[in-house]
Amino acid sequence: MKSFVIVLFVVYRLYLCESQGISAGTVFVLKGEDLHLNVTKAVVLGKLDFFSWQYNESNIVRFNSTDKKVYDNHTGRLEFPGNNYSVILKNLQEADSGEYTAVVTKLSGGETEAAKYKIKVQDRASLPLLTVSSVSRNSSSCSFTVTCSSQDSHINSTFTCDNQTCSQEGGERSEGIPDTFLQVHQSRGSIICNHSNHVSWTNTTKIIKDVCYQHVDRASLPLLTVSSVSDSSSSCSFTVTCSSQDSHINSTFTCDNQTCSQEGGERSEGIPDTFLQVHQLSGSIICNHSNHVSWTNTTKIIKDVCYQHVDPQATTILLITLGVCFAILAIIGVLWYLLKRRTSKGASIENPVNDSAQREVRDKVLLLTLPVQQDLQPIRPNNTTDNPVLNVSTSSAPVDCKRSGG
């Protein structure tokens, strides 16, 4: 799999090199990778013929019909994947860049080239540095200049951005040291500084919003004040002022029990790129202060705004009315207490008189009945001795009862 990827990469680099005017056959290899030096056509050696791989015209390996010899400068760095004289050069370093040639030497002394490669070994591209050298802002756009640099080269580019798009001047592509490149472009709200060579690439990015507003402070807390209130039985109208250090807006609200209507104050621009806005939400008035990096707000409850400025005269009348009501209730309470007390005293005086009358009647009854009980005696008639007769006088006045017949 790794070999397949390397082959694809080499093919791609060959195509890229040809499109950039580099001679065909040049192969770029990442430092530390392996290189497959391949023989693409059949080679048949006689008994005294030789096949050699040369690096800058010096032999690194030589084959005959039965054996091979690896030269000291490449001992331990070569592998032989097949029987067609192809070799794999291991762990390439920058010093291995150069020309690799496959040469067939005949007994007669003639030489022919079976393959030839121009190899360029490159290290990975270093991480570039992206810096912002100037920023200019107004209410609708932001312009800034950036510098994209590597160890050996740099390019500048200027961008002008609004809320939707950015235009660019310069910095599209610059060549640094041979076969390395710097490029600046913008994509998806970011500025990208790209550093690449033929075997790798890397980049550094900055978010455009951060570039434009990196020196902007947080929005300060706004002040929300009520300048006038008009209250009626069915609605309440009031005017508020939403202000920051450098700007202010006014807005008038008319509210009933269900809804509020607003006039003015929807949005106002203060100092560049800062904004004030007044609106109502969920029974509150909201004063919002914002810029491109932060926002904050102050709120007031509509119910508190409408009823915090009640008419003093109406308040006085209400207090007087309440005082009169309490006085009337107090008088009624006192009268009720006195009446109850008088009724209780009359009842306590009447009861002893009735008791005296009742005792007098009882005494009279006792006086009437007591003599009768004391004087009751049996009366015997002259002509009989066996049946005594009780003689009772029942006059209404007290009388003496005496025995008749001696």
All structural domains of the chain with their residue ranges: 2-122, 129-212, 223-307, 312-339
Q: What is the pLDDT of residue 404?
A: 43
Instruction: Tell me the per-residue pLDDT of 28-71, one tens digit each, with 9 for 90 and over.
Output: 999 999 999 988 788 888 888 999 999 998 999 999 888 889 99
- Full-model pTM: 0.50
The terminus-to-terminus CA distance of the chain in angstroms comes to 173
Q: What is the pLDDT of residue 19?
A: 37
CB atoms within 10 A of CB 159: 23
Of residues 339 and 269, the one with the higher pLDDT is 339
d(CA 25, CA 204): 32
pLDDT category at 232 given cuts 50, 70, 90 is confident
Provide mean pLDDT across the span 303-308: 79
Would you say how long the chain is, in residues?
406
- Cβ pair 36, 88 in contact under 8 A: yes
Q: Which CATH number fits domain 2-122: 1.10.20.10, 2.60.40.10, 3.30.70.1280, 3.30.1360.10?
A: 2.60.40.10
Q: What is the pLDDT of residue 349?
A: 54
Q: Please state which of the ranges 32-41, 170-179, 183-192, 216-225 shows the lowest mean pLDDT.
A: 170-179
What does the DSSP assignment read for 116-169? EEEEEEEPPPPPPEEEEEEEEE-SS-EEEEEEEE-SS-EEEEEEEE-SS-EEEE
Provide mean pLDDT across the span 149-165: 88
Provide mean pLDDT across the span 88-101: 94
Q: How far is CA 286 from CA 220, 256, 300, 301, 320, in A?
A: 15, 18, 7, 9, 38
Of residues 365 and 230, the one with the higher pLDDT is 230
Provide mean pLDDT across the span 340-344: 79
d(CA 393, CA 143): 147
